[in-house]
Structure formats: structure tokens, C-alpha cells
Structure 1
Amino acid sequence: MEADTTAGKWYAPAAGRTTVGEWAEQWYTAGLSGWKPKTRHTYRSILDRLVVPALGHVQLIQLRPIQVREWVGDMAGRVGAEQVRQGYRLLSQVMASAVDNDMIPVSPCRGVRLPRTPQGEPHILTIDEVTRLADACEPGDRVLVLLLAYGGLRIGEALPLRRRHLDVDGGRVVVEFAVTELPGGPVIDTPKDHQRRELLVPAFVVEAVRRYLATVPDGPEVFVFPGRQKHTAARQQSYSGFRRRFRRAVAEVGLNDVTPHDLRATHASWVADSRGVMTAARRLGHANASVTTRHYARPIDERDAQVARHLDDLGAGRRSGTRRARKHRKGKS
């Protein structure tokens, strides 16, 4: 024990006897102030449904990698792959904090193979499809669709926009808040990564916004997209209501499997194709461009074929030049 203490490897037995459930609760309480409401809700749900019922009674010092692997295998038979991955990632955070606080020498969350989640591809729309979709919507929803497609906003960022966030004269949209739908009701907070950003939008979108704002009450704090009922007019409209109307418009114009989130991916693809991934990442509010390419931006249809034809033209020109040079050398000899 003295040697381990000198080497920094000794841990008080009482610390290790703390159970996973007790430490998870302490870890959760300590992190509450730094998490967004949706994160708090998600972590609480995962702990209560997946972690604590299965492992909460186990002492930290007694939890072994084999038990964690068995727990992951049991979850895989009951819940989807994404929930399995969420549960394991959260347990890994809890156990890493136990290591950092000298409760245990090493985390048991290691060497575990997690199930893969199917990666759904976003539906990237053409400009014509977005135009037809927007025209199939009523005025407020039409402006919302245009802001999603030509501004790249998240639907949760567009719904809580207030009049002061729309600079019509400057053609600018300020993204300052985001709304999250939780079981207890909607919660307005800062956007993901707490990033406030300003976006310039095309002139025709600005004009559509200008005409629509003439139908919305004055006042800088008035919601641009208020609730549809009298008792909800003082707050932003719900996502569920917009989604129902959006689905009807999608069906009306003959599109399939298009969601409001696809409009954000469409914007990312348009911008990345014309101005590069870094510009697309900035407009979407991503600190890392890899997030943009992994989840949003996709190659524009026919663009790969255009690149191949361009390279073929370059190669053909090079081959023609080589043949002319050879003929020239032969003629001189």
C-alpha cells in the first residue's frame, strides 16, 4: 500500500465501494448546470432506463469489462442500436469521471464492440423542388421553408425567431435561440454549441419575408411564427403543427420522404458545391467542417459525372498535345 501510494496507484477501498448508481447520480448532479435542457433530459432518461436498473447496484471497484460487454449484449436484444450506443457512451463518461476523481484506477468501459447504426441519407432537393414545395405552403410556412432551404437554419432555430432577428433592410437573419420540444413543454435556449450567428439570405427570400411581416403584429419581441390558436399566439408555434402541414405540402407536390431537416442538408449541399465545405459549415453553425460533410452536405446530382467529363477533356487535350509533339519531332528528324 505504501508503494502504491508513492506511485500514485493506491485508491481508498471506501471510494471503490460506492455503487455505480450512487456515483452516476453524483456525476449527473454535478453536470446539470452546464448542460442544455435536452441534454439533461436525455441523460436522465438513459440513466433511469438503461444504466441504473442493470448496473446501479454494482460497486465501482467490482465492475469489470466482461460485465459491461454482457450489459451491452443484453441491451442490444431489447432496444435499438442507437440507444445501445447512447447507453454505453453515457456509462463511459460516468466511469471516466470516477477515474478522474480517484474512485477507481481504470475504467471498465474498454474493448466493447458496439452495434452499428444505419446511416440514413438526407434527401437533397433541387431548386425547382424547393420552389414547388414553398409555393404549396401557406404564407407563413412558405417563408419558413425558404429560411430553412436558403438560410440553412435548424427548424428549432427558425421557430423562435422574433421580429428583431430579421433585418429586412440588410437581408440578414440573426440566429440567437433554439427551441427544444420536451415532455414538460417547449424550452427556448441558445443554439447548439451556444453559437450566435448572422446569415445573409437571397434578395427574393428577403422580399418574401418583408411581405409576410406585414401580416405579423409589430414589436421587436413578437414571434415571427406565432402559435395558431388564441391561447398560443403569444409564443412560437409548435413543431408538430408545422410538420403536419409540411407533410401535406410534400405530398401535394409529389415528393417522397422529405423532412424539414432535409432542407438544412439541401442548403449545406448547395453551399458546399458552390462555395466549399468551410463556408457551408460556417452558415450551418458547425465548429467542425467534418460534421457538415458527415451529416449534411452531399454531392449534387450529375456533379460527379461533370467532373469525370472535365478530367476526360483534360486528358484528351494532354494526349493530343503529346501526339503533336511526337509528330513534330519525327518531322525534324
Structure 2
Amino acid sequence: MATIESYETKAGRRWRVRYRTPDRRQTDKRGFTSKRHAQDFAATVEVEKLRGEYVAPKLGQITVDELAPEWLHRKQSDLKPSTYRSLETSWRVHVQPRWGTTRIADIDLDAVEHWIADMNRERGATVVIRAYGILAGLLDSAVKARRLARNPARGVENLPRKTGKRRVYLTHADVERLAEEAGQHRVLVLLLSYCGLRWGEATALRVEHLDLLRRRLHVVDNAVQVGRTVHVGTPKNHQHRIVPIPQFLVDELARQCEGRNRHDLVFPGRDGQHLRRPVSTTGWFTKAVERAGIERVTPHDLRHTAASLAVAAGVNVKALQRMLGHASAAMTLDTYADLFDSDLDAIGHALDSARSTQRVGKMWAQMPTGE
């Protein structure tokens, strides 16, 4: 059992706790300003030993700065370049300045919640949630390495909630005007609007990925631009998929691929390499939107348009999930619940019809029969 002793310092009486670690080594913890604090620590140590959760205090003396490099290296191996870049930037800008020199054993829930509150006043929900996730992830790794008994960042109550951006759905006529104004990028705009590919999936598409006889295309690669570098990897969720091509677009793609080899990109840039993302304010896409006189959209918004046009044409949820590459039909429903309002109307009509039928049947049953 732990023992508690007092000793004198220039600042006054202090208390220390002597105890044995699970491997029977004698150790002590000094500096408690009251006997009550020392007793609380001693009781906590004994409970942690009984539960098998004891962590030597010296292991928690490492700083967040010392813990971060290995954790970031693991994340770099696991994440796609664009995702890792956002994570590394958030670490460098928001997490490291506040927590880098702090020992992990000195972090507590109250300090974490104050940090979140400060960010909430100046930053958007996405920035705050990402920064918090980095700190919590670092401390999770410390728990796994048995440097901490528990993660002091878990259990916060003031994380902000993301508010969904209002989606813009173009009509067939809108898409046609936009495609015409896009000039040499006409077919790319049509592909994004009717097949629902992400920008990187479309710009990584090669001639060999098209099966025009069967009206299918294969999403195999994803070209993601990080800074000035384009990284080619697997699609999101690392899943290849097959996407149907409307017949009118088959003819457009056939003309687009004329004179190209099977390994060539369908939509190359000027240098023959992957087409760069259009500049947000002055690029060809923004100018095409302005000339078309349609509501402001981004290339990624055309993926939402593809979903809306498919639903309006009567495509079922499972087929739409496969086309978009969502992990499940439930995810598709959650993402595009607003596109299925007509299904809610159908429920209302069905219930109204059922009630009317039941009331008519009841009325006939109650009518007196002739003698």
C-alpha cells in the first residue's frame, strides 16, 4: 500500500506519496501542497494497479512536439496526399502553437475545452473539428503506447457542428448552356454532369477505361492536385467502380477520343499531362458559368447535378449509390435526402388512399341490409 509523508521546503510543508509500481519497484511522487491531494493520488494509483491501468508518471513527461513526428509519419503513409496536406497544415497552424511544448501528462479536459472555445470564436467548424481531431488522435496514440492511462481530450462538449452547404442542382437546359460556354471542355462538363465523377476521377480517365460499346466507363484512378503537384492514386474509398454512360454522351466521348492511343488521357491538359483544376475566380469554369447565366456552381457541384438528374429520371437508390461510388445506399440517402421528397409525397398519398378505402368499407358494412 502507498504511504504518505510530509517534508519541509522553503515554500512550506509539502507531501509525498511512496508506493510500489506493478513490477515492485519503489518510487515516490513529491510536491503535493496538501495531504488531501496526496491521498487522492495514492488512492488513484492503487485503483489503477488493480485494474491493470497503471502508467508510470515519467512516461507522460514527453511533450506533444516529441510525440507528433511519428504519428504524422504514420498518417502520411495511410492517407491520400490531399488529405494529409490538410492534416499537416492544421497541425502546424492550430495545434502545435498551442500544445507543442506541453507535456502530455499536463493536458486536461478543461484546457482542451478552453482551446476549442477560443477557436470557435475565430474559425469555422471544419477547422476546429480537424484541429481537435489531431490533438485527440495524438493522445490516443499515447494511450496505446501506455504513456497515458486515458485520453484527457476525449469527452469535450463544445465541439461545433458542421452546417451543410446548400446544394445547387442544374437542369438539363442549364447543363447544356454551361457545356456550350465551356468551349473545348464541353465534353468534360457533360461527363461531370451526367456520370457524377469527381474532378480527379474525370481528369485521370484514360481511353482504355472507356467501354463505349457497352456504354460503360471504369473509374480506376483519381488525380488529386496538391499545390502544383498532381498525385495519381485510387478513387475515394479505394474502390474501383463501373459507371453507365448515356447514349448521347457515348457519341461525344467517341469524338473526344479520336486519334488517341488507349493509354492516353481522355481530358489532357495543354502539356498532355493531367488537366489542372481551374482557378476558382478567373479560370475557364467560372467564366463559363458567368456566360451561361446560371447559378454559381463549382466543378464538384456537377456531381450533385448528376445525382439530381438521375433521381428525376427514376433511378433507384442502389443504382445511384453504385454510380457515385458511395460506401452504402444509406450514405446516398443521407447525402441526397432532399432529392427524394417525391417519395414522401407518395407515402402521404398511399396513407390517404388506405384510410379512404377503410372508411368506405366500414360505411358499407354499417348500412342496413334490405329485408
TM bucket, shorter chain: 0.7 to 0.9
TM-score by length of 1: 0.87
How many residues of Structure 1 are paired with residues of Structure 2 in the alignment?
324
Any idea what the Cα deviations from partners look like across 1:258-284, whole Å, max 9, x if unmatched? 222222122234445634333222221
1:55 counterpart = 2:95:
no
2:318 alignment counterpart: 278
CA offset at residue 192 of structure 1? 1.1
1:240 alignment counterpart: 278
SS of equivalent residue, structure 2 residue 339: coil
CA offset at residue 321 of structure 1? 4.1
Identity over aligned residues, as a percent? Answer: 33
In the alignment, the residues of structure 1 paired with residue 87 and residue 238 of structure 2 have an alpha-carbon distance, to the nearest angstrom, of 19
1:130 alignment counterpart: 175
2:251 alignment counterpart: 207
1:262 alignment counterpart: 301
Letter in 1 for 2:57: P
SS of equivalent residue, structure 1 residue 299: helix
CA offset at residue 63 of structure 1? 0.6
Structure 2 counterparts to residues 214-229 of structure 1, below 5 A: 214=258, 217-228=259-270
SS of equivalent residue, structure 1 residue 260: coil
Q: Whose Rg is larger?
A: 2
Q: Structure 2, unaligned stretches of length 5 or more?
A: 1-20, 23-45
In the alignment, the residues of structure 1 paired with residue 122 and residue 292 of structure 2 have an alpha-carbon distance, to the nearest angstrom, of 39
In the alignment, the residues of structure 2 paired with residue 307 and residue 132 of structure 1 have an alpha-carbon distance, to the nearest angstrom, of 36
- Contact 1:177 1:188 (C-alpha < 8 Å) held by counterparts: yes
Any idea what the Cα deviations from partners look like across 1:90-114, whole Å, max 9, x if unmatched? 2111111111111101111123211
2:80 alignment counterpart: 36
Letter in 2 for 1:248: K
Q: Structure 1, unaligned stretches of length 5 or more?
A: none
Please say which of residues 180-189 and 129-138 is displaced more in the overlay. Answer: 129-138
In the alignment, the residues of structure 2 paired with residue 298 and residue 134 of structure 1 have an alpha-carbon distance, to the nearest angstrom, of 26
1:196 counterpart = 2:240:
yes
1:163 counterpart = 2:203:
no
CA offset at residue 85 of structure 1? 0.9
In the alignment, the residues of structure 1 paired with residue 119 and residue 55 of structure 2 have an alpha-carbon distance, to the nearest angstrom, of 31
SS of equivalent residue, structure 1 residue 331: coil
- Contact 1:271 1:277 (C-alpha < 8 Å) held by counterparts: no
2:335 alignment counterpart: 295
2:165 alignment counterpart: 120
CA offset at residue 43 of structure 1? 1.5
Cα 1:304–1:125, aligned 2, differ >3 Å: closer, same or farther?
farther
Any idea what the Cα deviations from partners look like across 1:31-65, whole Å, max 9, x if unmatched? 32222111221111111111111011111111100
CA offset at residue 21 of structure 1? 1.6
1:93 counterpart = 2:137:
yes
Q: Which has the higher strand share?
A: 2
- Contact 2:244 2:323 (C-alpha < 8 Å) held by counterparts: no
Please say which of residues 293-302 and 181-190 is displaced more in the overlay. Answer: 293-302
CA offset at residue 152 of structure 1? 1.3
- Contact 2:182 2:285 (C-alpha < 8 Å) held by counterparts: yes
TM-score by length of 2: 0.79
- Contact 1:271 1:280 (C-alpha < 8 Å) held by counterparts: yes
> Over aligned residues, Cα RMSD in angstroms?
2.5
- Contact 1:122 1:262 (C-alpha < 8 Å) held by counterparts: yes
In the alignment, the residues of structure 1 paired with residue 324 and residue 49 of structure 2 have an alpha-carbon distance, to the nearest angstrom, of 50
- Contact 2:194 2:309 (C-alpha < 8 Å) held by counterparts: no
- Contact 1:163 1:222 (C-alpha < 8 Å) held by counterparts: yes
- Contact 2:243 2:322 (C-alpha < 8 Å) held by counterparts: no
- Contact 2:63 2:104 (C-alpha < 8 Å) held by counterparts: yes
- Contact 2:196 2:306 (C-alpha < 8 Å) held by counterparts: yes
1:253 to 272, 292, 298: 292
Please say which of residues 165-174 and 58-67 is displaced more in the overlay. Answer: 165-174
